[in-house]
Chains A and B, each alone.
Chain A
Amino acid sequence: MIVSKLFKKTLFIIIVLFGVIAFTIAVSSGWNLYNDLIQEYKSKGTSIAKSIAGSSVETLLNRDASTVQAMIDQFLEIIGVSYVFVVDAQGEIISHTFVPSVPDEIMNIKEEKTKSVTRIQDLRLEGKGDFIDISAPILEGAIGFVHVGMDKGIIMSQMQSAMIRQLYLLLIIFLLSISMAYIFVNKISQPLNKLTEYSKKLAAHDFSSAVDIRSNDEIGLLATTMKSMATDLHEVFDRYEQAINDAIVELQNTLAYLTAVIDNMADGLLVTDIDGTITHVNPALSSMFALRETDMIGKNCKDIFDPLLAELVEKTRKFTNEIFTTEIGLAGNRVGKAVTTGIHKDTFQSDDKGVGSVILVRDITSEKEVDRMKTDFISTVSHELRTPLTSVRGFTEIIKKKLEEDIFSQFDTNSDRKTVTAIKRVKDNLEIILSEGERLTELINDVLDISKLEAGKVEWKMGKIHISDIIDRALSATSALFEQKKLEFIKVIEEGLPEIIGDKDRLIQVVINLLSNSVKFTDKGFVTCRVKRTAHEVLVSIIDTGIGISDADKMKVFEKFRQAGDTLTEKPTGTGLGLSICRQIVEFHSGKIWVDSELGKGSIFTFSLPFSVTEDVTLEKTYIHSPSEQ
């Protein structure tokens, strides 16, 4: 039998309550009973005493003790009467019902002086118990007194048995009420237990359970409320579950999509954390390095890859916002290019620490192959074109030499006009062949130069240079031209020019070109070279007093194979590539080149060289442009 806690609580209260009530009832009714009985006995005793007193007057006057005895004896039959005795006016006991003898205490009773009133007093007799002694005066005490002793003991035992009866009754009632309480409380706690079970199930998300409580009271209301709450919860849970499932599906789709993207990339992807431990690779990267994914994940990239790659990761650790690249060897003798940048959380804190690096590797083997082929082509062409040209020029020179030394010398100036003309024609034509051969050589050189410049295949030798140095070297190289045309050269160089970083030989090449152009197109006057500086660059100008350039031609001079001049009457001079080459060189140095000119007055060719170019930028350029021989 499951005793509910509720019941235990109520039981305690019931017991206490009942105990108090029972005790109170018992005590009070006992007390009442006692008092009533005492009263009854007292009145009984009093009336008996009075009756005896009244009816024994004559008998006592007659001194008829036996009648008195007989009279008082019959009163012994009355319940409660324990003794009766009569005393005379002197206090002598006339008759009594004591057996065997009158107790001492009786003997000692003092009579009341007020003779007309019955006196009631409690009396204890040794060995016999407690009594109520009622004394009635006979003839107002003149004859004597009647004493009736009512037995308190009977009262006591009556009271006792009454109380016991009562207690029994109360006990029965108590047990009954406990049982009823038990049943009643159970009636309450049972549904409460059911509801407890129900809410436990709800807490465990078991919404399918039901509870059957239909009572019309507060518990029933609670049950109803809980049921509807369960329904609501169920709904809410279903909705959330659905939402979560939807979100999961969406995430899975996104993940699958991204994974597909990464897996299908042609470039290799390598992701590392901040220490260089590899966290993610894609299939392309695996095949590039011929390593399995499982062999790479979790390992540090400096243990697996070329140290160059680990270096990149280091760099991105320090500079999370910059991009770094390097060339790196791939499996199967292939070459790749790795580009890496740092990954960082999108926070606005200034101490934004990176969480790793992303490295993209591209297989540039074919690119490099093409590159190499370009280089090879250029050098092969260079060689292949020059070889026959060498023969042409060389043999022509020998022809000229042999003709002049050995053949023409046979003919002196006195030979006939036809021979002389023929000799002159031969000489002139040979000169043409030789000079065209020279021009062809220059042309080949220039074409190769410009193609190297445009393909970025030039090895630049950058260093600190002084402009004045360059001007001097260019001048000495072209001094013969100046002498030939008897032109003057003026040099105006500003003081305190800063050092520039540049390729010395190439810049000399530019100035030589400009100077030789000026000399070529100037017949009289002078050529000036002026160098000055502005806020962030050096300006070099070659000024001549030559024939000038028309506005139409100004646009074209820097283009390939464009030459100023009248091609109808004049032999083409130069290669038509000189200024294009100059532009390539100047622009590599981040400068500009342009021309100002007035037909008939002269021309000014100017180029600028910025000097705020930092060391790093030029080195960067060197890296980009130099061939990848390592």
Chain B
Amino acid sequence: MPKILIVDDDFLIRNLLKQILEPFEEKGVKLFVADNGIVAIDKVKSENPDIIFLDVMMPKMNGFEVCNILKNDLEMKKTYIIMLTAKGQELDKQKAVGMGADFYITKPFNINEIIRKVSEVLNINLS
């Protein structure tokens, strides 16, 4: 069963992503959420998701740190990491790639782009 973990400290963004990914839920994908980096890592350990949507600006531990930890862990590094960055933060894009993120999208999202990417990674066709 494919799993997607959504990590963002903003309730509405989490909600939005869940709604965007609803079509995949109908196809059997399970969605999980976490509101900070520490919980996120726990969830990754326990649920072993295929994709993580990872926000950058979070309290306690920011997205880069989480990404770094995940990529350095033998078991967890296979997870596909999509980082959510604010546009214009050039440094963030570079950092994301440097930290080992697999993809990044900027807020505000392009919904079609998200759907396309998830389909690609999970190999699920929605239409």
Contacts and interface: CB of A to CB of B under 8 A. Distances in A.
Interface stretch (A29-37, A387-395, A611-619): A387-395
A390 B108 contact: yes
Interface string A426-438: 0000000000010
B91 to A, nearest CB: 7
A262 B115 CA distance: 68
A42 B16 CA distance: 180
Interface string B37-75: 000000000000000000001000000000000000000
Interface string A366-397: 00000000000001001100111111011101
A395 B16 contact: yes
Contacts of A397: 111
Contact of B57 (A383, A388, A394, A448): A383
Nearest to B90: A459
Contact of B13 (A379, A390, A401): A390
Contact of A386 (B15, B19, B86): B86
B88 A448 contact: yes
A387 B10 contact: yes
Given A387-B13, A445-B87, A448-B88, A395 B109 contact: no
B86 A382 contact: yes
Given A383-B57, A387-B10, A387-B13, A394 B87 contact: no
Contacts, number: 57
Contacts of A387: 10, 12-13, 107
A314 interface: no
Nearest to B8: A387
A2 interface: no
Interface string B72-108: 0000000000000011111100000000000000011
A449 interface: yes
Interface string A386-414: 11111101110110010000000000000
Contacts of A388: 12
Given A394-B108, A441-B108, A383 B86 contact: yes
Interface of A: 379, 382-383, 386-391, 393-395, 397-398, 401, 437, 441, 445, 448-449, 452, 459
30 contacts: A382-B86, A383-B57, A383-B86, A387-B10, A387-B12, A387-B107, A389-B107, A389-B108, A390-B16, A390-B107, A390-B108, A391-B12, A391-B15, A391-B16, A393-B108, A394-B13, A394-B16, A394-B20, A394-B108, A395-B12, A395-B19, A398-B19, A398-B20, A398-B111, A401-B111, A441-B87, A445-B87, A449-B88, A452-B88, A459-B90
